[in-house]
Amino acid sequence: MPFDSIWNWLIENHPDIFWFSIILLLIIIAVWKISKFHDECKNCREVCHNKTGIAKDISRLNEKINTILTILTEKEIIKSDLFSSNSPLNLTPKGHHLIKEMGWDKILEDEKSQSELFGALDKINLKSKADVEKYCTILLHELNSKRDTNLFTPIKKYLYENSSVSEMDAIFACSLHLRNKYLEKRPAIKE
């Protein structure tokens, strides 16, 4: 065994070189192990970041499903005394009362809230009053489906505490009120 004899010769004749060699070998092994651990940690961080991205994608997908539900719901005939039956749909006095009772009128009077809602609608670049009505409904359904606190949270709380009010009717009433306020501020939309 020539390897054993080299180690023995080093121990007997040059113990300082022997111990230096051992320490150097241990350092090389430690650095190699640490670099492997670092790579594994890096991979774990990437996986964690991807899971966060997946959670956001699932959240967006949930919002889009609610949007589809809204569009399908709009196809149904609205049978509520909160809305007029002529075209375009408008709130009846009972609908206006519900808007005030829920606090939606106060939310839309606030400039910051109005700016946030109008900004979301402006991003879509709406050209017709019918599209404004549709996207107001979609926007409020998306806000209603979000778990985060948002401008629609007080309405969700009201609906939870007042189960006799239909969620669909409340969302649609709020969307008609939003539509009217938005169109007041965007007179260029005429069709």
Please write the tens of the pLDDT for every residue from 89-144. Answer: 889 999 999 999 999 999 999 999 999 999 999 998 889 998 898 889 889 988 88
pLDDT, mean of residues 165-170: 88
Long-range contacts of 80-89 (CB under 8 A, 24+ apart): 80/166, 80/169, 80/172, 82/169, 82/172, 82/173, 83/172, 83/173, 83/176, 88/129, 88/130, 88/133, 89/133, 89/176
pLDDT, mean of residues 144-162: 91
Domain boundaries, the chain: 2-60, 77-185
Residue 81 φ/ψ, nearest 5 degrees = -85, 10
Mean pLDDT of the chain: 81
Q: What per-residue confidence (pLDDT) applies to 134? A: 84
Q: Given a cut of 60, is residue 88 above it in pLDDT? A: yes
